[in-house]
Amino acid sequence: MEIETKIIALGTGLVGSAIVKDLTREDEYNVLAVDLNQAAFDKLNKEPTVSTKKVDLSEKSRVASLVEEFDLVISAVPGFPGSSMLQAII
């Protein structure tokens, strides 16, 4: 099956990594997991349809340009940083 839907998951902590793992069960999605914490990627790098990218998500302009090419954006960054990031995306 050809992967068509491109998804970006911003934040790969407990919530973000669980969402990414659930998405990879179907092999229908190409997921880019983004976080500043490289250690968070260790569990996700085993999934064939997941790629990872280390990015400081507090840089609003970087986040806005990062999500442009994706069909779906998942925000899993909690609290004020997550709210600030959503404003940049919108």
Whichever domain contains 67, its CATH number is: 3.40.50.720
- Tokens (6 digits) for 20: 């990414």
Stretch (H or E) spanning 54 = strand 50-54
Number of domains into which the chain is organized: 1
Q: Structure pTM?
A: 0.86
Strands 50-54, 72-75: pairing kind: unpaired
Residue 13's domain comprises 5-89
In tens, the pLDDT along 22-73 reads 988 777 788 999 999 888 888 787 778 889 999 988 888 888 889 999 999 9
